[in-house]
């Protein structure tokens, strides 16, 4: 997605995570609704550099106490997330509170965030350790990180570490 946005802005494909987020913000400011929604999601989930690039200060205005409750996100970040959701939902992409509730559900319920293909650990995003080099791949522990380094998904993390755009699909947890 970020590659498409960067290419549409005439920037080519970027390998820098900070530059990728900057392209995403520029596309959102230019009225690309999906980029606004994607930036809001990245900020909520604390994807590298998203909060730094997407911060808009107090532009979203004050949120009611009901909306602020239950989010494990700082209030200033939540204001910026709401700002980008409002910009993204102008073109009929749903209601901002629906997206915000979805972000919260994903953060609370948890998912399989471990990049190791054979791992079945389900948990919260914040509980998974991030690869110190690329800051993108997440693992439940050292054993999964070591196993995935050379023999995992798409030839192992060693082959993709440092690339800005790769993502293993996240499977939301099902409540039993």
Number of domains in the chain: 2
Convert the pLDDT of each residue in 22-79 to its tens digit: 888 898 888 888 888 888 888 888 777 888 888 887 655 555 555 666 677 777 788 8
pLDDT at position 107 over 80: no
Q: What is the mean pLDDT of residues 140-147?
A: 90
Residues 27 and 80 in one domain: yes
Phi-psi region of 12 (alpha: psi -120 to 50; beta: other; left: phi over 0): left
For residue 75, what pLDDT is reported?
78
Residue-number span of the structural domain to which 124 is assigned: 111-172
Judgement on whether residues 91 and 8 belong to the same structural domain of the protein: yes
Mean pLDDT of 143-157: 79
- Do residues 22 and 46 share a domain? yes
Q: 4-8, 66-70, 106-110 — which is least confidently predicted?
A: 4-8
Going by pLDDT thresholds of 50, 70 and 90, the confidence category of residue 140 is very high
Mean pLDDT over 87-116 rounds to 80
Q: Of 84, 109, 134, which residue sits at a domain end? A: 109
**For residue 95, is pLDDT > 70?**
yes
Q: Looking at the predicted structure, is the pLDDT value of residue 120 above 60?
A: yes
Q: Does residue 7 carry a pLDDT above 60?
A: no
> Please, which residues have CB within 8 angstroms of residue 29's CB and are 6 or more apart in sequence?
none
> Does 17 share its domain with 70?
yes
Residue 166 has pLDDT above 50, yes or no: no
Both 73 and 138 in one domain: the answer is no
């Amino acid at each position: 997605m970020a590659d498409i946005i960067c290419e549409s802005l005439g920037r080519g494909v970027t390998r820098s995570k900070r530059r990728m987020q900057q392209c995403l913000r520029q596309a959102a400011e230019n009225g690309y609704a999906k980029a606004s929604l994607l930036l809001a999601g990245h900020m909520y989930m604390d994807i590298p550099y998203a909060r730094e690039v997407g911060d808009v200060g107090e532009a979203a205005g004050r949120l009611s106490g009901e909306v602020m409750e239950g989010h494990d996100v700082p209030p200033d970040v939540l204001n910026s997330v709401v700002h980008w959701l409002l910009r993204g939902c102008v073109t009929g992409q749903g209601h901002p509170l629906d997206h915000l509730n979805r972000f919260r559900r994903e953060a609370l319920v948890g998912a399989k965030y471990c990049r190791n293909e054979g791992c079945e650990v389900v948990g919260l995003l914040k509980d998974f350790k991030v690869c110190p080099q690329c800051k993108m791949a997440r693992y439940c522990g050292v054993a999964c990180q070591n196993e995935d380094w050379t023999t995992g998904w798409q030839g192992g993390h060693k082959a993709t570490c440092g690339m800005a755009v790769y993502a293993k699909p996240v499977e939301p947890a099902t409540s039993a």
